Structure 1
């Protein structure tokens, strides 16, 4: 059974690109357009193994999403990669401080993203 990854980004183009890169590696992918959509999908789909999330999104941004995620016992240990255009040290520190396992700045190299996903999934 392949690992299941949730890709959260308000840009359909970015969502589809990341999904394409991840699917090529044999992973199952579900997408969400913002943090609120992602939380709804996490509760309706069982077995999400890793989350890749943007920061700047409508309705619920990535930081708020991760904070909500980490407050839920069942998602406390789910690996999270932030993939964002926000690359200031303060953004990176905030993301990691809220519980993200890794912070990558867009545009990320596809091979580096895949390598980091595989590393976090063991």
Structure 2
């Protein structure tokens, strides 16, 4: 992993860390692979994922991981707006619209899983 990729990832995690109140997101880098983890403070739960690939691939994987952890453990049901997502996930408002579309797809997937369990 080159220094530019690492700088992008550190910048992203620095901007998004304020979104996580009930837990923390950490990362470790070694041999062009990165391991990212979410530790939940109240449930003594640790979720880990190893990511690799191009800078764009890695950033998307980290964003997906953070989005999943946020909605699984942090989200309190407040309305989602592109501006809120820009603050939450360290992006511009324009790119937050792209992230918002990805989140809606994930929410629909979770909704289908929830309805099938009922």
What band does the TM-score fall into relative to the shorter chain? Answer: 0.3 to 0.5
TM-score for both structures, normalised by structure 2:
0.32
* The structure with more helix, counted as a fraction of residues: 2
